[in-house]
Structure 1
Amino acid sequence: MSAAAAIEPVRAANLVGGSELYRAIFLSPEGEHIRSSCGGVFETKAFGAAPEHLDMIFVIAGANPFLVNPAHYANFLRRHASRGSILGGVSGGAVILARLGLLETCRFTVHWEHIDALLEENPDHLIEKRLFVIDRKRATCAGGVAPLDMMHALIRTHFGQPLADSVSDWFIHTRVRTAEEAQLLINQEHVDLHPQIAAAVRLMQDHIAEPLPIERIAHLASLSPRQMLRGFRESFGQTVNRFYTDLRLQKANELLRQTRLPVSQVAIATGFSNQSSFARAFQDKYGARPKDWRKRAER
């Protein structure tokens, strides 16, 4: 289920988009035939036969990923991470990435049945109980059909809302879920947002650590910058920039309260260029500098 939900959206994007927007290849350490849990077989290439550059690499693991020896994947994944590839974990795939140290200082998620075991190994893991998390060069999801929602978010970022919606319609996936499904960042009084404004908000939610330029968000949401500015003022009573900054500061607040991540890393994880600008913005919103806020929350 997880493998198909991750792979099929990119195939559909090519079909709906009318050109080869994505090219998928299947890899394993030795290039074996890999049998999935449903009995289907994937014909894979060995890691050594992989192209020099891969835009995205998704580790897909079902059953018990703690039984997998992560050393078999270490050199390959670390090499491509150093080359700037996006690393993703689907279902238990994030367990393998985490145990290789490839998710340090990154927010991520994993199938719910593996969360407690991962935290037992390392309480400092920044695990979030969400459908998916996209944090800089890492994209992880909880498995099952959650990859459909994550791939919708990635396609939306790469090629815009209309194509992402067309792919979801192709699969009759008519209620695309956000990463924050269990605890929506869009307040309940805003459930009737215009679809394009809602798309802009989702893009912001998916790009906390590496904020997208406002013009890029507007383009991907099929809005003009002026339409987006007016829509945010009407829906939220805020400018677009203020809304986006508040969204990032809310995530910073959560990380300060729930993790032991250094303040400098919290700043990076929420898209601030340096610790001083983060501290000023945080104090403006919450009335205290990040370190003082954390101490107060721990009392």
Structure 2
Amino acid sequence: MQSRQQRIEVETSDKKPRRFVFVLLPEFTMLCFAAAVESLRIANRMADKTLYSWLITGEGGDGVTCSAGVNFRLECDLPELGRDDTVMVCGGIDVQQATTKRMLNWLRREARRGIKVGGLCTAGYTLARAGLLDGKKATIHWENQDSFAEEFDEVDLTKSVFVIDGNRMTTAGGTSSIDLMLKVIADDHGEELANAVADQLIYSSIRTDQDTQRLSVPTRIGVRHPKLSQVIQMMEANIEEPISPAILAQRVGMSTRQLERLFRRYLNRSPKRYYMELRLQKARNLLMQTDMSVINVALACGFASPSHFSKCYRAHYDTTPYRERGTHGMRLSV
């Protein structure tokens, strides 16, 4: 049986608990929601008083199913909020479909009250669609970064784990909800309480808004070769206007032949092939997550013509960009 930990003394000035209103979108990611709520619950337990309360809501007010297939009962339909409330929209798979006109209108209405609004995981998209992130810094899950950047150029998109910009908050998904909530708890009631919550969560490495969400290139590819990492970073940063292998090799101080051998040895493919796979992965993300035309997707991924793009896409994914877009659209409409 778990023993009660030492109570953390906090100054509350007899203020009423800060209420978080969690808005669950269809197919939301359970981890991002659970991590946020558990952080608040543990803060209450460690302080031995109710510092935080929460309300679980969503469109319709009945129930909503997360991406893992678990159904959650909602406490009410989208409510009218108080000025001291904090809204946390929880997103996940197919956030574009989950972002309805009614949801957008509700968010805009409540945001006009001056309340704090956050988007967990992919819900940064929902906030951006509502115009709540215009002129602000924000983040979103790395898998959605390409499509987000294409659609919302008025938002200063970062690769951070979480971002707080004024009364707007966004996270990259997964365990980044913990990092955001620990920051909120520290700001509200001090670092000691936030650290105690992290300790209870067995969360030994608290990240800040300066930490990036993706693993480093060497960790991702399983190879620790500095020049190879440099080249891959340049490739990832130059998708729309690809750089030739000869120039890439020159920039890291080696010959084209040496670069070729390096890629063959560690990644079992040529630099040209690896670069093509990066461009096609971005193209697939844009096809699945945006309504950009196939021509514009091709241009955004460095292909000079739709026919060349289609040929390369078919060779890699065994389908055409048009069929990929059509199949995904049919799946979303079911």
Maintained 8 Å contact 2:162/2:209: yes
Other-structure match for 1:113: 143
Structure 1: any 5+ residue segments left out of the alignment? 184-299
SS in 2 for 1:46: coil
What are the within-5 Å matches in structure 2 for residues 102-251 of structure 1? 102-182=132-212
Maintained 8 Å contact 2:105/2:130: no
In structure 2, what is the Cα distance between the partners aligned to 1:143 and 1:37? Answer: 13
Cα drift, residue 58 of structure 1:
0.7
Other-structure match for 1:74: 104
Is the deviation greater in 83-92 or in 69-78?
69-78
Other-structure match for 2:33: 3
Q: How big is each residue's C-alpha offset from its partner over 1:90-111, in whole Å with a ceiling of 9 and x where there is no partner?
A: 0111000001111111111011
Maintained 8 Å contact 1:27/1:50: no
1:105 alignment partner AA? G
In structure 1, what is the Cα distance between the partners aligned to 2:98 and 2:84? Answer: 23
In structure 1, what is the Cα distance between the partners aligned to 2:68 and 2:99? Answer: 23
Cα drift, residue 51 of structure 1:
4.3
Maintained 8 Å contact 1:54/1:80: no
Other-structure match for 1:55: 85
How many residues end up aligned between the 2 structures? 183
Cα drift, residue 71 of structure 1:
1.2
In structure 2, what is the Cα distance between the partners aligned to 1:137 and 1:122? Answer: 19
SS in 2 for 1:158: helix
In structure 1, what is the Cα distance between the partners aligned to 2:143 and 2:84? Answer: 30
Give the 3 Å change call, closer, same or farther, for CA 48–118 of structure 1 in structure 2: closer
In structure 2, what is the Cα distance between the partners aligned to 1:10 and 1:101? Answer: 28
Structure 2: any 5+ residue segments left out of the alignment? 1-30, 214-334
TM-score, normalization: structure 1? 0.58
Other-structure match for 1:88: 118
Cα drift, residue 113 of structure 1:
1.1
Give the 3 Å change call, closer, same or farther, for CA 95–49 of structure 1 in structure 2: closer
SS in 1 for 2:173: coil
Cα drift, residue 48 of structure 1:
4.8
Please tell me the root mean square deviation across aligned C-alpha atoms, in Å. Answer: 1.7
2:20 is the alignment partner of 1:20? no
In structure 2, what is the Cα distance between the partners aligned to 1:98 and 1:51? Answer: 20
Other-structure match for 1:227: none
Other-structure match for 1:211: none
Among the aligned pairs, what percent are the same residue?
A: 33
Maintained 8 Å contact 1:70/1:99: no
TM-score, normalization: structure 2? 0.52
